[in-house]
Chains A and B, each alone.
Chain A
Amino acid sequence: MKKVNMKINIAGVELENPVMTASGTFGSGKEYGEYIDLSELGAVVVKGVASTPWKGNPSPRIAETYGGMLNSVGLQNPGIKEFIKEDIPFLKQYDTKIIVNIAGRTVEEYCEVVEALGDTDIDLLELNISCPNVKEGGVCFGTDPFMVEEVTKEVKKVAKQPLIVKLTPNVTDIVPIAKAAVKGGADALSLINTLLGMKIDIHRRKPVLANRMGGFSGPAIKPVAVRMVHQVAEAVDVPIIGMGGIMTGEDAIEFILAGATGVAVGTANFADPTATIKVIEGIENYLLEYGFENIEELRGNLLG
Chain B
Amino acid sequence: MKKVYDCEIIKHKEIAPCIFMMEVLSEEIVCSALAGQFVSIYLNKGEMLLPRPISICDIDKDKGTLKLIYGVVGKGTAELAAFKTGEVLKVLGPVGNGFKIEDTIKKHIVIGGGIGTPPLIELVKQLKGKVEVFLGFAKDSILEERFKELGATVYVATEDGSMGIKGNVIDLLEQINPDGDMIYSCGPKGMLRAVDLWGREKGIKTQVSLEERMACGIGACVGCTCKTKKKNEEDWQNRRVCKDGPVFWGEEVVW
* Chain A residues packing against B (C-beta within 8 Å): 24-27, 30-32, 34-37, 47, 55-56, 59-64, 66-69, 71, 73, 76, 208, 218-219, 267-274
Q: Are A270 and B226 in contact (CB under 8 A)?
A: no
Scan B1-12; emit 1 where CB is below 8 A from any A CB, else 0. Answer: 111100000000
- Given A35-B2, A273-B92, residue A71 in contact with residue B223 (CB < 8 A): yes
Please indicate the chain A residues that have their CB under 8 angstroms from the CB of B102 in the complex: none
Q: Are B216 and A25 in contact (CB under 8 A)?
A: yes
B42 within 8 A of A: yes
Q: Which residue of A lies closest to B48 (CB)?
A: A64
Please indicate the chain A residues that have their CB under 8 angstroms from the CB of B4 in the complex: 35, 272-274
B49, B219, B225 — most chain A CB neighbours (10 Å): B49
Q: Are B215 and A270 in contact (CB under 8 A)?
A: yes
Q: Are A218 and B49 in contact (CB under 8 A)?
A: yes
B149 within 8 A of A: no
Please indicate the chain B residues that have their CB under 8 angstroms from the CB of A208 in the complex: 213
Q: Are A269 and B220 in contact (CB under 8 A)?
A: yes
List residues 217-248 of chain B with CB under 8 A from any CB of chain A: 217-226, 237-238, 243
Interface residue from A61, A219, A272, A274 paired with B223 (Cβ < 8 Å): A61
Q: Distance (Å) between the CB of A278 and the closest chain B CB?
A: 12
Q: Distance (Å) between the CB of A38 and the closest chain B CB?
A: 11
Q: Are B225 and A62 in contact (CB under 8 A)?
A: no
Please indicate the chain B residues that have their CB under 8 angstroms from the CB of A35 in the complex: 1-4, 218
A27, A35, A59, A71 — most chain B CB neighbours (10 Å): A59
Q: Are B214 and A62 in contact (CB under 8 A)?
A: yes
Q: Which residue of B lies closest to A34 (CB)?
A: B2
List residues 172-206 of chain B with CB under 8 A from any CB of chain A: none
Interface residues of chain B: helix, strand, loop or mixed (majority)? loop
Please indicate the chain A residues that have their CB under 8 angstroms from the CB of B219 in the complex: 27, 31
Q: Are A32 and B218 in contact (CB under 8 A)?
A: yes
Q: Distance (Å) between the CB of B135 and the closest chain A CB?
A: 25
- Given A26-B220, A31-B220, A69-B215, residue A64 in contact with residue B238 (CB < 8 A): no
Interface residue from A37, A55, A272 paired with B238 (Cβ < 8 Å): A55
Interface residues of chain A: helix, strand, loop or mixed (majority)? loop
Closest 10 CB pairs of A and B: A62-B223, A31-B220, A27-B220, A62-B213, A271-B49, A60-B213, A34-B2, A31-B219, A31-B218, A270-B216
- Given A56-B238, A61-B225, residue A267 in contact with residue B49 (CB < 8 A): yes
Cα A37 to Cα B2 with chains together (Å): 11
- Given A31-B220, A69-B49, residue A60 in contact with residue B212 (CB < 8 A): yes
Cα A256 to Cα B47 with chains together (Å): 25
Q: Are B222 and A56 in contact (CB under 8 A)?
A: yes
B51 within 8 A of A: yes
B167 within 8 A of A: no
B162 within 8 A of A: no
Given contacts A27-B220, A35-B3, A63-B213, 14 further A-B contacts (CB under 8 A): A31-B216, A34-B218, A55-B238, A56-B225, A59-B212, A59-B225, A62-B213, A64-B75, A67-B47, A67-B49, A268-B49, A269-B216, A270-B216, A270-B217
B75, B220, B243 — most chain A CB neighbours (10 Å): B220
Please indicate the chain A residues that have their CB under 8 angstroms from the CB of B165 in the complex: none
Q: Which residue of B lies closest to A268 (CB)?
A: B49
Q: Are A270 and B222 in contact (CB under 8 A)?
A: no
5 A-B pairs with CB atoms under 8 Å apart are: A64-B75, A76-B238, A271-B42, A271-B44, A274-B4
B76 within 8 A of A: yes
Q: Distance (Å) between the CB of A294 and the closest chain B CB?
A: 31
Cα A32 to Cα B44 with chains together (Å): 19
Q: Which residue of A lies closest to B90 (CB)?
A: A272
Scan B28-59; emit 1 where CB is below 8 A from any A CB, else 0. Answer: 00000000000000101001111100000000
Please indicate the chain A residues that have their CB under 8 angstroms from the CB of B224 in the complex: 59, 61-62
Q: Are B50 and A69 in contact (CB under 8 A)?
A: yes
Please indicate the chain A residues that have their CB under 8 angstroms from the CB of B214 in the complex: 62
Cα A24 to Cα B212 with chains together (Å): 18
Cα A62 to Cα B241 with chains together (Å): 13
Interface residue from A24, A34, A47, A62 paired with B1 (Cβ < 8 Å): A34
Q: Which residue of A lies closest to B243 (CB)?
A: A31
Q: Are A273 and B223 in contact (CB under 8 A)?
A: no
Q: Are A59 and B226 in contact (CB under 8 A)?
A: yes
Cα A35 to Cα B5 with chains together (Å): 12
Please indicate the chain A residues that have their CB under 8 angstroms from the CB of B212 in the complex: 59-60
Cα A101 to Cα B76 with chains together (Å): 32
Please indicate the chain B residues that have their CB under 8 angstroms from the CB of A274 in the complex: 3-4
Please indicate the chain A residues that have their CB under 8 angstroms from the CB of B213 in the complex: 59-63, 208
